[in-house]
Amino acid sequence: MKLRRFHRLALGAVLAGALSAHAFTAARAGDTATPARKASSETVAVANAVRVGGDDSRTRLILDLSRSVELSAFTLADPYRVVVDLPQVSFSLPPKSGENGRGLIKAFRYGMVMPGGSRIVIDAAGPVRIDKAFVLDPTGDQPARLVLDLVSVDRDTFMRNLALENNARRQAAAATHKSEVETPAPAGDGRPVVVLDPGHGGLDAGTTAPSGEAEKSIVLDFALMLRDKLEKSGKYHVVMTRGDDSFIPLGERVRIARAHKASLFVSIHADTLGRRNPETRGATIYTLSERASDGEAANLAEAENKADVIAGVDLSSEPNDVADILIDLAQRETKAFSTNFARKLVSELKSSAKLHKHPLKSAGFKVLKAPDVPSVLVELGYVSNPQDLKLMTSDGWRRKVVDSIAQAIADFFAPQVAAGAAPKPRP
């Protein structure tokens, strides 16, 4: 019997949120020992049962797997979470698995975080220590089993352990970061770069309709259609922050836009107001502001900004790379371009989509914070509204709305191109 204990893998460091798109690639292509690499050559393990046992002092989670895999586990604070990183695993668990835990495990989520990598994020009931984390090889008729034992500790002990873990993780991240700094930005072809950002992904499903449709899938389908439309025009170089069911941290989405010297960043979402406001509907365009334009915008930004917490991103290791004295100035210019584009979107969407009664709003969305990339967030509609949901999942509606957004993008770039004074693409 072989125990695989606590391998602190590159994957864990990558998903801790400190690294860029480049680092993602490096982690995948560089070290053949990473689980991400292994997944491509071996069949993907299937998780088909999960059990949680124990009490408030010691809790055990067991996940049955079709074959043995390597794992890496670590804790996160505020809120208390335990993250288990795995190579890509196909979760074929009963619906609602993880919604209700017991003992020290309040609830847990699971899913893909990037091609080749999956993750389990556990919401802990309080400060915990990872006592055991290993995978038992299959024996006889027993499947392989992932075993995670958590024990209750006081907050001081939790924070001390966390500091030790973080040190180790930062060192690993720093090594990867170094090579990233030396890497030149991707060479452009002179056309403006438009970054499309389908929200959520992987184990962060975003909002969910009462009938089960997930925001992450609705917005990905839409963004892919918009990408095809824009690419067909030949006028733009289109970059997607994600093109599959991966989770991308919020800061990473911003970094992708900046690394490509994007001229425009369009984040795509689908909102919910839950069962209490099923009649609210329509598309809304958001720009960045320090103070939210109204309560609904503030709540929405708060919900959208939780994506990293949901997916178990270590916010304490997020580098503060936006520290430039010129940022304030750049931001003012960027803000004007963002608002300008948002207005164009509203006037185009009027003809194709039903708009929210106040279609132009602003709030503190993390994903809109690139200081030098005009950025807007489009909420296509409300998954909590049956008519909106029907439209958002219909090809006819999508095509019309994609056309409108493409037109707004063309209008946005037209005067700049005509004047020969495009502020973007940046030099």
Binding residues for Zn ion, rule: CB under 5 A, are: 199, 206, 269
Whichever of 131 and 302 has its CB closer to Zn ion, that residue is 302
Q: What is the nearest approach in angstroms of Zn ion to the Cβ of residue 377?
A: 8
Identity of the amino acid at 407 = Q
Q: What is the nearest approach in angstroms of Zn ion to the Cβ of residue 12?
A: 26
Q: What is the nearest approach in angstroms of Zn ion to the Cβ of residue 270?
A: 7
Question: Helix, strand, or coil here: 70?
Answer: coil
Q: What is the nearest approach in angstroms of Zn ion to the Cβ of residue 278?
A: 18
Whichever of 255 and 269 has its CB closer to Zn ion, that residue is 269
Residue nearest to Zn ion (CB): 269
Whichever of 158 and 382 has its CB closer to Zn ion, that residue is 382
Identity of the amino acid at 358 = H
Whichever of 61 and 378 has its CB closer to Zn ion, that residue is 378
Whichever of 23 and 285 has its CB closer to Zn ion, that residue is 285
Whichever of 50 and 355 has its CB closer to Zn ion, that residue is 355
Identity of the amino acid at 5 = R
**Element spanning 399, H or E:** helix 395-419
Please tell me the distance from the alpha carbon of residue 50 to that of residue 97, in angstroms, as a whole number. 8
Whichever of 206 and 381 has its CB closer to Zn ion, that residue is 206
DSSP H helices in 34-154: 35-41
Q: Which of 194, 198, 216 is nearest to 206 (CA)?
A: 216
Q: What is the nearest approach in angstroms of Zn ion to the Cβ of residue 359?
A: 17
Q: What is the nearest approach in angstroms of Zn ion to the Cβ of residue 199?
A: 4
Answer yes or no: are the C-beta atoms of 265 and 286 closer than 8 Å: no
Question: Helix, strand, or coil here: 102?
Answer: strand
Answer yes or no: are the C-beta atoms of 6 and 72 closer than 8 Å: yes
* Rg (the chain; Cα; Å): 22
Structure tokens at 53: 């046992």
Q: What is the nearest approach in angstroms of Zn ion to the Cβ of residue 252?
A: 16
Other C-beta atoms closer than 10 Å to the C-beta of 48 total 15
Q: What is the nearest approach in angstroms of Zn ion to the Cβ of residue 175?
A: 33
Read off the DSSP letter of residue 15: I
Instruction: Give the torsion through C-alpha atoms of 158, 163, 167, 172, to 10 deg.
Output: 40
Burial letters for 273-299: b for 16+ Cβ neighbours within 10 Å, e otherwise? Answer: beeeebebbbbbbbbbbeebeeebbee
Please tell me the distance from the alpha carbon of residue 246 to that of residue 20, in angstroms, as a whole number. 14
Answer yes or no: are the C-beta atoms of 182 and 21 closer than 8 Å: no
Whichever of 109 and 269 has its CB closer to Zn ion, that residue is 269
Q: What is the nearest approach in angstroms of Zn ion to the Cβ of residue 380?
A: 10
Whichever of 206 and 371 has its CB closer to Zn ion, that residue is 206
Cα-Cα end-to-end distance for the chain: 59
